[in-house]
Structure 1
């Protein structure tokens, strides 16, 4: 099994996105899923060697369901067009996310659409020591890898409790604090993909540590 075969399965599923086809190809699905879980288990071990605060996340816990939640999104297809997984996962938010799919391939981390409680904590941290956060996101190697924070329709005014002329108002207006690096299929299918994942993890660590500390204080 390989990432090439994983893509081949996703392409077929995308053409036949229904329960009947999945039931007929359930064994193939489990072969692909087991391959991805095994790879995630390897990465789980390797990343734990890098980060003393790493939260052990076996592949079966890391991998997301391939079914779309039709209760909340009834217009979506039955199945996703990707395999997603979150390593270093104390919770669903703030993990180290790997997305391998037909239309998108990326690695990212941070807080995308955090709850109002978590967002309030992040803003409080930025109010207290936003200079430290800006040093992280403005570091040359960080900029080269991730560019800017992902945009998420920021507030047009200041959030409650903060003035319009706050020195970090550009950050305080944000509703999400996440970054990612896009990848090609060729990069994912290459022999050094795992090395690339480790490289991204290392660069992302200070960013994730700042945010994780902000929401736990």
Structure 2
């Protein structure tokens, strides 16, 4: 997938996570970043074949910063040694659901669904949609292509929330506050698989993304 410089740089950053090191290696950082942005542009072109909503996205607006917020963390390392992006019409915002990619040595993965649990209104909209579109949801998550690649994860409650039938057939999914799916990728896959491989995993995520986004029609992200 032409991510050699990206993985090489991130491996070095993970081993030398400091402001001084980054200052001395800005050129390597820029080369790796540019490689990742080209990768995103090519990936957008392939995803647009089955999801036209991403066709005009600008890669640099989808990519997250490396800098970490260390104010409330015991880990004071200044950088997250990963290149991450969310391919969505809302760009980096977690809603609506899009296509998330994290490139990190030995910890890379592709993601879909709604992975943010901090929006109660969104959570309620999805739960209510599950009640009225349960058969559609079950068809999506039991399809062979889906079960061969993913399982629905995400933060969830111990019990079905108040106001919902605790014995509902989808009770376990009503407990969720986030409905996310992931496909873990090895470094070997990143270096040897064709870009089409990644695009195909995202194509398989699209039915769940579409289901969740239908539930979230009209939802607006809170203003800061």
| Shift, 1:169, TM fit | 1.0
Structure having greater relative contact order (Cα 8 Å, sep ≥ 6)? 2
1:122 maps to 2:126: yes
Q: How does 1:12-91 map to 2 (within 5 A)?
A: 12-54=12-54, 56-73=56-73, 75-91=75-91
Question: RMSD between aligned alpha carbons?
Answer: 1.8
Q: TM-score, normalised by structure 2?
A: 0.88
Structure 1 residue 162: Cα displacement: 0.7
The 5 Å alignment of 1:95-110 reads 95-110=98-113
CA offsets 1:98-139 (integer angstroms, 9 cap, x no match): 111024111110111331111111101001111111110111
Higher helix share: 1
Number of equivalences: 214
Which range moved further: 19-28 or 82-91? 82-91
In the alignment, the residues of structure 2 paired with residue 216 and residue 76 of structure 1 have an alpha-carbon distance, to the nearest angstrom, of 39
Aligned counterpart, 2:8 = 8
Gaps in structure 1 of 5+ consecutive residues? none
* Distance change >3 Å, CA 73–CA 57, structure 1 → 2: farther
In structure 2, C-alpha distance between the alignment counterparts of 1:216 and 1:190, rounded to whole Å: 39
C-alpha distance in 2, partners of 1:109/1:71?
29
- Whole-Å Cα distance in 2 between the matches of residues 35 and 125 of structure 1? 40
Note if contact 1:122-1:211 (Cα within 8 Å) is conserved in structure 2: yes
Separation in structure 1 between the aligned mates of residue 113 and residue 210 of structure 2, nearest angstrom: 9
* Structure 2 CA distance for partners of 1:53 and 1:59, relative to 1, 3 Å: closer
Helix, strand or coil at the partner of 1:203: helix
CA distance in 2, matches of 1:183, 1:7: 13
The question of whether the paired residues in 2 share the 8 Å contact of 1:62 and 1:89 is answered with no
Do 2:108 and 2:185's aligned partners in 1 also have CA atoms closer than 8 Å?
yes
2:217 aligned with 1:209: no
1:33 deviates by: 0.3
The answer as to whether partners of 2:19 and 2:78 remain within 8 angstroms in 1 is yes
Give the whole-Å Cα distance in 1 for the aligned partners of 2:135 and 2:50: 26
Q: Which TM-score applies when normalising by structure 1?
A: 0.91
Q: CA deviation at 1:160?
A: 2.4
8 Å contact from structure 2 (residues 160, 172) kept in 1 = no
Query: Equivalents in 2 of 1:189, 1:155: separation in Å?
Result: 38
CA distance in 1, matches of 2:55, 2:215: 17
Structure 2: segments with no counterpart, 5+ residues = 219-224
Contact 1:55/1:89 (<8 A) preserved: no
Select 1:187's aligned residue among 172, 186, 189: 189
Change (3 A) 1:9 1:103: same
Task: Tell me if 1:138 matches 2:145.
Answer: no
